[in-house]
Structure 1
Amino acid sequence: MDIMIKKKSHLFLYTSVVLVIFMSFGACAQKNAGSFKPRVINTTDLGADPDDIQSMVRQLVSANEFDIEGLIVATGCWKKTQDNTGMLDEILDAYEEAYPNLAVHAADFPTPEYLKSIAVMGQDGYGMSDVGIGKDSPGSELIIAAADKDDPRPLWVMGWGGMNNIAQAIWKVRETRSPAELKTFLSKLRLYDVLGQDDAGAWIAKNFPEVFYIRATSVYGWQPPKNGDYQRNDIQSHGPLGAVYPDTKYATEGDTPAFMHVYPNGLNDPDQIDQGGWGGRFSFNKKEGIRSMSEVAKINPEAETQYDPYYMYGNTDEGSDAIEKWEDGYNNDFAARMDWSITPKYSDANHHPIAILNGDKTRQVLEMTAAKGSTVTLDAKGSSDPDKDQLNYRWSFYDEPSTYNGEITIENSNSSKPSIKIPNNASGKNIHIILELFDDGKPSLYAYRRMIINVP
């Protein structure tokens, strides 16, 4: 089949606790050092909106794909104070019940004991009012300890609520270390801020412009229908984790794009934010004054304007469409993992296919060079399915991140070995080709690979 796609015109105690946590996890962290697994710390204003609980359930059933190094209870404009980890503890208790089944279906699911050891309180007050001398918390100390680890991978700190836990961590490092040490610390960080929910993000962006800072504002519109059949039948009906997945009140899983951005499914390199993936697509042209949710200005009209100008990475014009284009993949992934949580036998559930691109067995984005006017052949030979399901191939030109602005013809686009015709006017441009490999199991599960073809 041929396709043609057109380009679209308590300080000591806190420190001691954190050190014990990281010493106990040292062996596991070392095992994964340098691997493709992303390092993630989630900060969440649990209790402000049911969607944080929903996102946490999805994060936990996909926890084998990440090195989760912190689960921090946070505040935000919709919940300005916190005093306990009770809601988080209940979710982790449900995970503990589901863990024996999850562990049958994939290696590396973290133990409940480990996750409970990194589930801590963060700042108990709101925004920058809770940053400064004497404001260290178990959450801010955990972030510092994680960034200090001898690990070459970046540390993704996700703000599902406010950003003052990471602000306190940065503030302390600035006050207690040399400028060179501060620079090293900041270089480890990758911040993904959902919507902006306090004034701490603007403070970080203003005072530390070198920090890798995404503020995602297009986090709605990609979700399945609110409280619909998918939510009822594929998620909530499934065991202990389904039981704690609440009905949607405002919007479903608004915080999920944060960890979906770094989900290691072969689709994108999270550091290359303009590639696009399950968490959206972002521009490397920083934007000035991406404002937080309107409630922040209601609390204090000068909350963010006092830091003007400040600059962050923001969504591209596609908005949530950049997420929704992969909806079959991420919806089916969640549904299958909820099946895992209630299925003690491996053969009674579906599992993800393994995509191989030109002999490469990793999930990394690949690049190659091809001359204008030439024909490039890609090959998914060796791709497989652990359940022996039939494999389906779909190769496509991902036009938005490509710098080539024209038409691309892919011959045999539904086979394992397509051919791509490089246009004569593609000199100096790149072309992003995506492989979607999906099985015929139930639900159908996806694996991805990306080849970037550079045309000199």
Structure 2
Amino acid sequence: MLPFTLFPILLFLSVIRPTFSTNTTEKLRIFILSDILNEPDDSQSLVRYLLYSNEFQTEGIVATTSTWLPNETHPEAIHEIIRAYGSVVDNLNQHVYGKQALQRNSTLSPGASHLVKALKSSNTTLHLPVWGGTNTLAQALQHISRTHSSTEAKTLRSRLRIYTISDQDDTGPWLRATYPDLFYIASRHAWKAYSLAAWTGMSMTALSPAANDSIVQNAWLGRYI
């Protein structure tokens, strides 16, 4: 076997991270070892990783040998993908949703402001059914954390009972990681696996074998609902 060298590649933070802040307390440190170009899988994985790289503290990416690539390494393939990412990252950032509401300079939205007022108006439970994304909730709780003591913020969060229909933006996982004390039920499902979700109810027979849409017809709905 020919000798090989581990080839470290430093990923500069100005390139690897989108400009917005996720405002998490600490990011996982990541150092990737890859036998890239042995087959397409690692190239594909690196592209996917870069699209989520703002969630991590990337320390390095190294081209290595493997059983399937025993005598060579291809750091140039890593460089090529990173250069391509650098050319599109500004455009990608224009289409980020959800956690954009958590940027330091973001103005509190009217919806988030109203939610904060509702939480503070009574010490009773506030039920929060979420039919779409949770960025309004995330912004409200982030605002409370910034403007109240930790004890006060925890008290306000304790009044919430949250139920979401899946994770419809990227603030759902952020909320659960940032505020583990939240009462938070996420009815999640994999893409195209809607039968695993609780919200399909009785009307989606094509997706759930337990459903029965023979009842849920216009005539029945018109008479009883």
TM-score grouping bracket, smaller chain normalisation? 0.3 to 0.5
* TM-score, normalised with respect to structure 1: 0.23
Give 1 or 2 for the bigger CA radius of gyration.
2
* TM-score, normalised with respect to structure 2: 0.46
